[in-house]
């Protein structure tokens, strides 16, 4: 039923979230990070226990230290204001949470309420397993939240949870000022062509033609797809077919975006997948790249694990037009199981609504170093005071849209990645590879929903 996401961002959540472990939620995050000590992860931890005479709500979630700190703080605040409701909180490592959700829903043993990554929500909702958001909470939801954040929580006009974060992978990049200044670049590029020129100037190779310093890193699995989709959207076009179900990569905009993206490797040689191994952003933090396209979730890891490196997080220019239109997966949020007792569902939604109030949502975002899902927290001064490098991400947030019903996320992304690699390795022509990716994705969609 549920397909494992496996995205690279989630593999780093332990490090990024550790910044808030043991810290007060309003304490400066980047100072608290230095005190975090990694420990062996238990498969399950329980906070709280059932209480007689109260409405007990069991809640499952992810065990990132920042998530745990933020969630426990929310429980304390809520129970103080609502002494008749008791939250029993269990948290798990990421992979185990996925498995627990799958088996729990199949066996009827899942918790009353769960923190769920947005990409999973539509699948569970389509099987009738999730309780719809109460009408009073759902009213005005699309005005309160960013579309990219709530997109996956909506099915057939009904919402099945509230998002807590905005999952951004576009429009921003890490930069190494020392490298750029050493090659005579002191200002951010104003155009896409200028960005490429700077990247070419910053790239170096060894005698075998292998990159020793990347000018513009983008060839990880996630960024290849996210960048391609954004390049289409910024031309004012869509990657979805007219039926809104299948993809169409045969438009002029898609072909142009694909050619220009593969040319970054084939023609401009500013990055590749063969010169070095491991995560792209780690190579950047090791001082081996001038610019690297990553979401803001890597910032804390860089500051914590590589304290000697001075880096910035800035916007790169749009590929086309003047606005950073991009596609995004909906991130973490909270859902309620449809089969819970009525009084338990009412209590669970009351807790979810409590956490969605701006002051509480702000503190949760700070604890987890995530971007707000609420529009009212855009450019929030408290967030920017504690995490100033997020300003570049806030500049982009208004232009995001939900990526759409990709169904099997791993296969969707992998099809584009494999086609990209085939072009860069000289195994296929760009147009043929793009057509192959389209066909593979549409076959996967047909397997999921029918042609």
CB-CB contact of 216 with 264 (8 Å): yes
Read off the pLDDT of each residue in 36-49 and give the average, rounded to a whole number.
Answer: 77
E strand or H helix at 252: helix 252-266
Superfamily of domain 172-326+406-449: Periplasmic binding protein-like II (3.40.190.10)
pLDDT for 203 equals 98
Residue 242 and residue 343: Cα distance in Å, rounded?
Answer: 43
C-alpha separations of 6 from 230, 276, 386 in Å? 21, 22, 29
CATH 1.10.150.120 fits 8-167+329-402, yes or no: no
pLDDT at 33 > cutoff 80? no
CB-CB contact of 208 with 268 (8 Å): no
What percentage of the chain has pLDDT greater than the value 90? 87
- Please state, rounded to an integer, the average pLDDT across all residues of the chain: 91
pLDDT at 433 > cutoff 50? yes
- pLDDT-based confidence at 200, cuts 50/70/90? very high
C-alpha separations of 143 from 158, 244, 375 in Å? 15, 23, 8
Sequence-distant (≥ 6) Cβ neighbours of residue 435 within 8 angstroms: 249, 250
pLDDT at 15 > cutoff 50? no
pLDDT at 451 > cutoff 90? no
- pLDDT-based confidence at 16, cuts 50/70/90? very low
Q: Do domains 8-167+329-402 and 172-326+406-449 have the same CATH topology?
A: yes
pLDDT for 25 equals 36
Q: Where are the domains of the chain?
A: 8-167+329-402, 172-326+406-449
Q: What's the token pair of residue 419? A: 């086609």
pLDDT at 1 > cutoff 50? no
pLDDT at 26 > cutoff 90? no
CB-CB contact of 14 with 97 (8 Å): no
pLDDT digits (tens, 9 = 90+) for 55-107: 999 999 999 999 999 999 999 999 999 999 999 999 999 999 999 999 999 99
pLDDT for 105 equals 97
E strand or H helix at 447: helix 430-449
pLDDT digits (tens, 9 = 90+) for 394-406: 999 999 999 999 9
Residue 1 and residue 116: Cα distance in Å, rounded?
Answer: 15
Question: Maximum CA pair distance of the chain?
Answer: 74
pLDDT for 39 equals 57
Q: What is the pTM of this model?
A: 0.90
pLDDT at 37 > cutoff 80? no
pLDDT at 35 > cutoff 50? no
pLDDT for 23 equals 31
pLDDT for 41 equals 67
List the one residue out of 261, 229, 4, 286 whose CA is nearest residue 119.
4
The three-class DSSP label of residue 291 is strand
pLDDT for 285 equals 97
Read off the pLDDT of each residue in 324-353 and give the average, rounded to a whole number.
Answer: 98
pLDDT digits (tens, 9 = 90+) for 169-193: 999 999 999 999 999 999 999 999 9
C-alpha separations of 159 from 121, 152, 163, 172 in Å? 10, 9, 10, 30
């Amino acid at each position: 039923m549920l397909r494992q996401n496996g995205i690279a961002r989630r593999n780093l959540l332990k490090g990024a979230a550790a910044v808030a472990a043991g810290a007060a939620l309003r304490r400066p995050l980047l100072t608290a990070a230095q005190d975090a000590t990694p420990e062996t992860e238990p498969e399950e931890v329980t906070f709280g226990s059932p209480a007689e005479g109260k409405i007990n709500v069991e809640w499952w979630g992810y065990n990132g230290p920042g998530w745990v700190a933020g969630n426990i703080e929310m429980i304390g605040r809520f129970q103080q204001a609502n002494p008749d409701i008791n939250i029993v909180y269990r948290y798990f490592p990421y992979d185990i949470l996925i498995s627990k959700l799958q088996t729990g829903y199949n066996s009827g043993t899942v918790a009353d309420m769960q923190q769920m990554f947005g990409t999973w929500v539509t699948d569970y909702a389509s099987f009738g397993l999730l309780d719809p958001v109460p009408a009073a909470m759902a009213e005005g939801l699309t005005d309160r939240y960013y579309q990219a954040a709530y997109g996956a929580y909506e099915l057939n006009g009904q919402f099945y949870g509230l998002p807590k974060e905005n999952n951004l992978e576009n429009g921003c990049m890490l930069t190494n000022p020392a490298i750029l200044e050493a090659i005579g670049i002191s200002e951010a590029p104003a155009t896409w062509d200028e960005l490429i020129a700077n990247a070419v100037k910053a790239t170096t190779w060894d005698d075998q033609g292998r990159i020793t310093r990347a000018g513009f890193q983008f060839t990880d699995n996630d960024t290849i797809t996210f960048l391609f989709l954004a390049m289409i959207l910024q031309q004012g076009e869509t990657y979805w077919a007219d039926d809104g179900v299948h993809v169409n990569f045969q438009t002029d905009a898609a072909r142009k975006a694909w050619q220009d993206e593969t040319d970054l490797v084939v023609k401009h040689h500013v990055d590749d997948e063969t010169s070095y191994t491991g995560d792209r952003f780690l190579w950047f933090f090791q001082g081996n790249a001038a610019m690297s396209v990553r979401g803001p979730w890597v910032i804390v890891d860089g500051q914590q694990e590589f304290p000697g490196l001075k880096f910035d997080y800035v916007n790169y220019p749009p590929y086309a037009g003047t606005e950073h239109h991009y596609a995004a997966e909906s991130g973490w949020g909270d859902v309620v199981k449809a089969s819970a007792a009525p009084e338990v569902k009412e209590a669970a939604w009351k807790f979810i609504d409590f956490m969605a109030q701006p002051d509480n949502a702000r503190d949760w975002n700070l604890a987890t170093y995530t971007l707000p899902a609420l529009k009212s927290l855009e450019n929030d001064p408290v967030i920017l005071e504690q995490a100033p490098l997020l300003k570049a991400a806030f500049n982009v947030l208004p232009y995001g849209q939900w990526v759409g019903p990709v169904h099997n996320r791993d296969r969707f992304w992998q099809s584009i990645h494999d086609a990209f690699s085939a072009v860069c390795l000289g195994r296929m022509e760009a147009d043929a590879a793009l057509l192959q990716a389209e066909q593979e994705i549409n076959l996967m969609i047909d397997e999921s929903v029918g042609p």
